[in-house]
Amino acid sequence: MNLRQAWTGFVTPEDYELHMASIGQAQANAVLVREAVINWAAAGARLWIAGAGTGQMFDFASAAFLSPFDVTFSDINAQFLERLEARLAQSGLTQWRTQLDDLEQTALAGPFDMAAVVLVFEHIAWRKGIASIAKVAPARCLIVIQQNPAGMTAAVTPSRVPPGTMKAVVAAKPVLVDEAELIAEMATKGYRELERTISDVPDGKKMLALVFESNRRFIDRIKMRQTEVPEE
Ligand SMILES: C[S@@+](CC[C@H](N)C(=O)[O-])C[C@H]1O[C@@H](n2cnc3c(N)ncnc32)[C@H](O)[C@@H]1O
């Protein structure tokens, strides 16, 4: 079974969530997403959370941080989206929708002001994922990738035995994304790095959160600043 097959219809929400909470990554990523959205999205912004999963982050960060925004959640796994919808229905949020969508060739058209992709590129042809983002062209984009301690190449720590159906993901071997290659690929699509945050998680791993901004948006901001400063 390959990664796409495992994620599309095999891994259960329960096994996924057990695994992510047990390795501390669900907790760390909830904080990273909340901080990036609060820092880089203006009230009223249209957000796209791609490969959103089950919405487990709301167990660790109150969904209220999303209330100023209009949020589209997408994933390739229908069962995950059902679990997410159940959470959203209880969350008090009013402006949200979910969409079954393949990030390798998104059918979403936007427009979106900010996208967030958390631990998805390790599981897909990530350059296709970036092409999808570039097609939709959000002004800003948060990408979280996993970084391992030197010498550990497997995405899932070899000594950890993941629960039930999550074993299929381990067997299909997710591939870590090289930070420099990711930044270079984003640059080819007109995105520059704006901010980085590193969060330590168990087993000596790190979550690297990179916020990118489109050069177009950057130039607009400079122009705006120039018009705000009166000429002497
Ligand atoms: C490691 S999980 C991360 C989930 C979520 N972002 C989080 O942090 O909890 C990877 C997610 O990517 C989704 N996924 C895998 N391949 C995908 C694809 N081609 N398009 C969209 N989502 C995909 C999986 O279903 C799963 O929800």
Take atom 9 of ligand 1 and give the residue whose Cα is closest: 53
Domain count across the chain: 1
Q: What CATH number corresponds to the domain at position 71? A: 3.40.50.150
Take atom 10 of ligand 1 and give the residue whose Cα is closest: 120
Question: What distance in Å separates the CA atoms of residue 148 and residue 214, rounded to the nearest whole number?
Answer: 28
CA of 229 to the centre of ligand 1 (A): 44
Is the shortest distance between the CB of 207 and ligand 1 below 6 Å?
Answer: no
pLDDT at 162: 76
Collapse the DSSP code of 162 into the 3-class scheme (helix H, G, I; strand E, B; otherwise coil) and give the result: coil
Q: Which domain holds residue 62?
A: 3-228
Q: Nearest CA to 197 among 184, 206, 185, 187?
A: 206
Collapse the DSSP code of 114 into the 3-class scheme (helix H, G, I; strand E, B; otherwise coil) and give the result: strand
pLDDT at 232: 61
pLDDT at 77: 97
- pLDDT tens readout for residues 138-186: 999 999 999 998 878 777 777 767 789 989 998 999 999 999 999 999 9
Flag residues of the chain having pLDDT under 50. Answer: none
Is the shortest distance between the CB of 217 and ligand 1 below 6 Å?
Answer: no
